[in-house]
DNA sequence: AATGAATGAGTCTTCATTCAT
DNA sequence: AATGAATGAAGACTCATTCAT
């Protein structure tokens, strides 16, 4: 038995192995651009029964979130670190750039990051911590004149999601990402 | 027989009538928030056979585009008029605000406006004219200092789509639309 | 196109053919003792797609009822004729015997005959007519002293269903049917 | 270790405890109107593994029977007592009324009481004793003129099951039970 | 040109049972 | 003896598309 960091419980060795297999396959599918996450085919590819997949992940959304628990936990650390840095503005910009790139690379991440309704309470909790940390960072950046009043952490989340969307529409994402991000960063500042 | 302005051909009277019925129902469905556009139910509601729907619109995308021909033609006029106005900056802002509201009100419009691949050449042609007119307007606004260099009409289209997306993520669209639009407008300006 | 007596509408020739095929297979399945009426296998055996089966019969109950429309219509005639005969008591006994035998031979019939909730309004209508005719017969048999007061047509229906159930429990149905029916017939009379 | 009266073997204390837990939950489920007796959910509710449930009860039928051992044993006593009473006819009527009410209250009991095939030999043995005792009672009632010749204990069992079925079909069981029982009791008598 | 019945692959989901732990 | 994760057959149902009428 090994502790399962994502469930706060202990999983039988084989169960944990299957869970990981399923998650690995799901990750591959998403990476390959197939965001349908069909339980039957995931099960087949993972070499387990469908029932096993359902046992671990009652819904598609739950699977998506499970796929991202580590990433979100990592992000919380990043945002906290960013909020603690000396130069809040640079820090904010770097954070937003990083987040944008993550969204572009991983559509599953983008989907969960955008969504307001989580299947799993732990995901909601993490989002709450994320928002808190971002609020701190934002407050400091605001003091430095880089953020207009009236824009909260959730607004910034939505806006960066919007920018991600704008970049994705186009055909040369690498090219647009930096430009559109620059537009956002300038737009966040108090109007002249 | 009446000329069919959208097909460049002549349609039998009953065919034209059926076409309009289908479009009307499709419009109603979209307006009612159902963007699945299922051909079978549209056919049923329109009182025609599915085959008839397929004859007129080979794909969902084609139907969507047909639904929006008038709207796009109207838009072309708007953008041209905007480009001709004295105060290009105000004009640009008004145009973007109008477009944003249109996207929020009509998800079908948003989908086609965002898309880079059209089912029907006439839609592509219209988009080309739209881009041309917007380029003019943008050039004039740029001279007035309201648009940074390096941002073309297509960029602005994508960015306003992104803002629309950001607004749609939230639960109180009316509240966010104006704020996020303001962020975009400020962001479009040359950096300080 | 031929008129479809069971739908009150006109069915396309091929549709009618398919409908009959499906009903024939369903009938065979039931006769073979399989009362599960699985749509997929019925479709396969009938040589049609599942969708076709679903189109004709939205639910299992609807299919069962469709299977029995003719039988119920015939029964209505029988009960009316029975109610019109000279010797109401003999007539009632013969009718109940016939019904019991029908229930034992055809479990589908027994199921629909017992059920109080019909999928199709026409079935409910037929049951209503059946009840009416039986009420007449019962009234006449009551006058002849063969039916106790307080027992209506629906009670008799339930009781004969119960007798059918009692017979079915045993292993030698032929043996029990007549005896248990005799018990019922005597029990229907006013108490001594 | 405690002797397990129902298995003729000795059960480890924890095994006996588990067995009782499972039976208690199963009883509750049935009482709550859920007669599906799903092993997985029973196991979950009982706080044991499914495997444990299977170990104790190889089939649903076996579980049902185990649930009813006490009740049947009690019934044997009742029927014997009834057979010993002075007024056999009254006694028989009271017994049938009691049995009917039991069937209506407890669908599990009804199922096992009706069934001719038992999973457990002890259940068959009990049914045998029941039949014997009922035969005595019936013989005495027959002498008193309340039961026609040719009707044995098993027939009466089936008939009361049939009456239970008839009552269950309707929507107002309390109302029909007494009437239909009266029909049966009169029907049991020798024909006039 | 119109019809709409038919198609049937595709997907989802459950649950009785087994067996490795 | 107990566990409960795993299994996967089984069955239900949908809907985009075709094609005979």
pLDDT in tens, C62-91: 999 999 999 999 999 999 999 999 999 999
CA distance A16 to A28: 18
With distances taken from each CA to the C1' atom of nucleotide F5, the closest residue turns out to be A15
Over residues A59-78, the mean pLDDT reads: 95
Query: N- to C-terminal Cα distance for chain B?
Result: 61
pLDDT of the residue at D25: 96
Name the superfamily (CATH) of residues A61-188.
Tetracycline Repressor, domain 2 (1.10.357.10)
Do residues B21 and B29 make contact, with C-beta atoms less than 8 angstroms apart? no
Query: What is the tens place of the pLDDT at every residue in B120-159?
Result: 999 999 999 999 999 999 999 999 999 999 999 999 999 9
Tokens of D71: 């009740």
**Nearest residue (Cα to C1') for E6?**
C52
**What residues form DSSP beta bridges with D9?**
D4
Judge whether residue A4 has pLDDT over 70. no
Q: In the structure, how far is the CA atom of residue C125 from the C1' atom of nucleotide F13, in angstroms?
A: 29
Is the pLDDT at D186 greater than 90, yes or no?
yes
- Cβ within 8 Å, pair A116-B171: yes
For residue A185, give Cα distances in angstroms to B134, B153, B185, C46: 24, 20, 12, 66
- B12 — pLDDT class (breaks 50, 70, 90): confident
- pLDDT over threshold 50, residue A39: yes
**Chain center to CA of A94:** 16
Assign 3-state DSSP to chain C and report helix, strand, coil percentages, each to 5: 75, 5, 25
Residue C116 touches chain D, beta carbons under 8 Å: yes
In this complex, do C187 and D184 lie within 8 Å of one another by their Cβ atoms? yes
Torsion, Cα C152 C158 C159 C160, to 10 degrees, reads 110
Residue B13: pLDDT band by 50, 70, 90 thresholds?
confident
Percent of chain B with pLDDT over 70: 94
**Nearest-CA residue to the C1' of F3?**
D49
Question: Where in the sequence of chain A do the CATH 1.10.357.10 domains occur?
Answer: 61-188
Instruction: Flag whether residue C182 sits within 8 Å of chain D, measured between CB atoms.
Output: yes
- Residue-wise pLDDT for A141-186, tens only, equals 999 999 999 999 999 999 999 999 999 999 889 899 999 999 999 9
Report, in this order, helix, strand and coil percent for chain A, each rounded to 5: 75, 5, 25
Q: Which nucleotide is nearest to C50 (CA to C1')?
A: E8
The residue whose two tokens read 């040589």 is C47
**A99-118: burial string, b at 16+ Cβ within 10 Å, e else:** bbbebbebebbbbbbbbeeb
Q: Which residue has the higher pLDDT, D20 or D10?
A: D20
Tokens standing for residue A81: 């670190």
CA distances from A2 to A66, A72, A122, D191 (A): 17, 22, 20, 77
Question: Which residues fall within 8 angstroms of residue C86, CB to CB, at 6 or more apart?
Answer: none
User: What CA–CA distance (Å, rounded) separates A133 from A127?
Assistant: 10
Confidence category of residue D185, pLDDT binned at 50, 70, 90? very high
Q: What would the pLDDT profile of C10-33 be if each residue is shown by its tens digit?
A: 667 889 999 999 999 999 998 888
The number of C-alpha atoms within 13 Å of A46 and in the hemisphere containing its C-beta is 28
- Report the pLDDT value the prediction gives residue D13, as an integer from 0 to 100: 82
CATH of domain B66-188: 1.10.357.10
pLDDT at residue C192 above 90? no
Say what the pTM is. 0.85
Task: Determine contact, residues C120/C59, Cβ cutoff 8 Å.
Answer: no
Of residues D1 and B135, more confidence is placed in B135
Check contact C-A (3+ Cβ pairs < 8 Å).
Answer: no
The pLDDT of B63-88, averaged and rounded, is 97
**Tokens linked to B52:** 């008839």
D10 touches strand E (CB under 7 A): no
In contact, C118 and C167? CB cutoff 8 Å: no
Contact between chains at C170 and D158 (C-beta distance less than 8 A):
yes
Cβ under 8 Å to A: B residues 122-141? none
What is the rounded CA–CA span in Å between residue B152 and residue B134?
Answer: 9
Tell me if residue B31 falls in helix, strand or coil: helix
Average of pLDDT values for B68-86?
Answer: 97
Confidence of residue A8 (pLDDT cuts 50, 70, 90): very low
Please write the tens of the pLDDT for every residue from D109-118.
999 999 999 9
Residues in contact with A84: Cβ distance below 8 Å, sequence separation at least 6, in sequence order: none
* Residues 6 or more apart in contact with residue C191 via CB below 8 angstroms: C148, D182, D186
Question: For the stretch D72-91, what's the b/e string if a residue is b when 16 or more beta carbons lie within 10 angstroms of its beta carbon?
Answer: beebbebbbebbeeeebbeb
pLDDT tens digit sequence for D148-161: 999 999 999 999 99
User: What pLDDT was estimated at residue B93?
Assistant: 98
CA distance C105 to C68: 13
Query: How distant is the Cα of C164 from the closest Cα of chain D, in angstroms?
Result: 7
pLDDT value of position B182? 98
Report residue B33's pLDDT band, with 50, 70 and 90 as the boundaries.
confident
Q: Are A148 and A92 spatial neighbours (Cβ–Cβ below 8 Å)? A: no
Residue with minimal CA–C1' distance to E7 is C49
Query: From the CB of residue A72, how many other CB atoms can be counted at a distance below 10 Å?
Result: 19
A10 DSSP β-pair partners: A3
The whole-number average pLDDT for the span D172-186 is 96
Q: Between β-strands D2-4 and D9-11, what pairing exists: parallel, antiparallel or unpaired? A: antiparallel
The percent of residues above 70 in pLDDT, for chain A, comes to 94
Tally the residues of chain B: 192
| Amino acid A35: pLDDT | 86
Residue A3 has what pLDDT? 36
For B102-115, the pLDDT digits (tens) are 999 998 999 999 99
From C118's Cα to the closest Cα of chain D, the distance in A is: 14
- D170 or D80, which is more confident? D80
Q: Are D43 and D50 in contact (CB under 8 A)?
A: yes
Which residues, listed in sequence order, are joined to residue B4 by a DSSP beta bridge? B9
- pLDDT tens-digit map of C39-49: 999 999 999 99
User: Among B14, D166, A75, B42, which residue's Cα sits nearest to residue C184?
Assistant: D166
Predicted pLDDT at B11: 67
Q: Looking at residue D10, what is its pLDDT?
A: 66
C64-188 homologous superfamily? Tetracycline Repressor, domain 2 (1.10.357.10)
Q: Three-class SS of residue A115?
A: coil
CA angle at B23 for the pair B20 and B28, rounded to the nearest 5°: 125
* Residue D123: pLDDT over 50: yes
Question: In the predicted model, what is the mean pLDDT of residues D180-184?
Answer: 98
Q: What is the pLDDT of residue D9?
A: 57
Distances (CA, A) of D121 to D19, D35, D71: 19, 23, 16
**Phi and psi of C147, rounded to 5°?**
-135, 130
**Nucleotide nearest to B50 in CA–C1' terms:** E4
CA B186 to CA B190: how far, in whole Å?
Answer: 9
Tens digits of residue pLDDT in A77-116: 999 999 999 999 999 999 999 999 999 999 899 999 999 9
Residue–nucleotide distance: D157 CA to E13 C1' (Å): 41
The fraction of chain C above a pLDDT of 90, given in percent, is 83
Cβ atoms within 10 A of the Cβ of C31, count? 12
D58 phi and psi, to 5 degrees? Answer: -60, -30
Q: What per-residue confidence (pLDDT) applies to B97?
A: 98
Range D2-57 classified under CATH 1.10.260: no
Distance of alpha carbon D34 from alpha carbon C91, whole angstroms? 42
Inform me whether the pLDDT recorded for D179 exceeds 50. Answer: yes
Q: Which of A72-76, C17-21, C117-121 has the lowest mean pLDDT?
A: C117-121
- In chain B, the percentage of residues whose pLDDT exceeds 90 is 84
CA B26 vs CA A77, B11, B29: distances in Å: 48, 20, 5
pLDDT tens profile B158-182 = 999 999 999 999 988 989 999 999 9
Average pLDDT, chain D: 93
Mean pLDDT, chain C, as a whole number? 92
C-alpha distances out from residue C151 to C132, C148, C154, C188, Å: 14, 6, 8, 8
Q: How confident is the model over D41-45, as a mean pLDDT?
A: 95
Which whole number is the average pLDDT over A26-41?
90
C189 to chain D, closest Cα gap in Å = 8
Residues of D in contact with C159 (CB under 8 A): 163, 166, 180, 183
Q: What are phi and psi of C171, to 5 degrees?
A: -105, -10
Contacts of B164 in chain A (CB under 8 A): 162
The residue-averaged pLDDT of B17-39 equals 92
Q: Is C10 helix (H, G, I), strand (E, B) or coil?
A: strand
Q: A20-29, A104-113, B133-142, C112-121: which has the highest mean pLDDT?
A: B133-142
> Residue D6: what pLDDT?
46
For chain C, what percent of residues have pLDDT higher than 70?
94
Residue span(s) of chain C under CATH 1.10.10 come to 2-57
CA distance linking residue B17 with residue B14, whole number of Å: 5
Query: Given C150, C154, C186, which is nearest D191 (Cβ)?
Result: C186
Tokens 């790139």, residue? A101
Separation in Å: E8 C1' and A114 CA: 37
Count of residues making up chain C: 192
Sign of the CA dihedral running A19, A25, A29, A30: positive
Q: Is pLDDT at B50 greater than 50 in this prediction?
A: yes
* Nearest-Cα residue of chain A relative to residue B147: A183
Residue C16: Cβ within 10 Å count:
18
CA–CA dist A184, A192 (Å, integer): 15
pLDDT the model gives residue C186: 98
DSSP state of B119: S
Give ranges for CATH 1.10.357.10 in chain B.
66-188
The token pair that represents C38 in the structure block: 């699985």
D93 CA to chain C: closest CA distance, Å? Answer: 14
Neighbours of D16 (CB within 10 A): 17
Per-residue confidence (pLDDT) for residue A10, from 0 to 100:
67
3-state secondary structure chain D: CEEECCCCEEECHHHHHHHHHHHHHHHHHHHCCCCCCCHHHHHHHHCCCHHHHHHHCCCHHHHHHHHHHHHHHHHHHHHHHHHHCCCHHHHHHHHHHHHHHHHHHCHHHHHHHHCCCCCCHHHHHHHHHHHHHHHHHHHHHHHCCCCCCCCCHHHHHHHHHHHHHHHHHCCCHHHHHHHHHHHHHHHHCCCC
CB atoms within 10 A of CB A143: 11
pLDDT score, position C12: 78
Backbone torsions φ then ψ of A48, nearest 5 degrees: -125, 170
């Amino acid at each position: 038995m090994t502790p399962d960091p994502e469930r706060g419980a202990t999983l039988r060795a084989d169960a944990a192995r299957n869970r990981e297999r399923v998650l690995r396959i799901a990750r591959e599918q998403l990476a390959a651009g197939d965001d349908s996450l069909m339980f039957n085919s995931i099960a087949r590819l993972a070499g387990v029964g469908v029932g096993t997949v359902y046992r671990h992940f009652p819904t598609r959304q739950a699977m998506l979130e499970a796929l991202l628990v580590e990433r979100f936990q990592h992000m919380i650390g990043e945002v906290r670190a960013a909020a603690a840095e000396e130069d809040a503005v640079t820090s904010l910009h770097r954070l937003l750039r990083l987040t944008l790139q993550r969204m572009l690379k991983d559509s599953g991440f983008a989907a969960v990051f955008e969504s307001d309704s989580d299947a799993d309470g732990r995901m909601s909790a993490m989002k709450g911590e994320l928002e808190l940390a971002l609020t701190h960072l934002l407050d400091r950046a605001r003091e430095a004149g880089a953020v207009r009043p009236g824009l909260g952490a959730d607004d910034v989340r939505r806006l960066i999601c919007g920018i991600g969307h704008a970049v994705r529409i186009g055909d040369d994402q690498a090219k647009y990402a930096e430009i559109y991000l620059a537009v956002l960063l300038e737009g966040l500042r108090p109007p002249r």
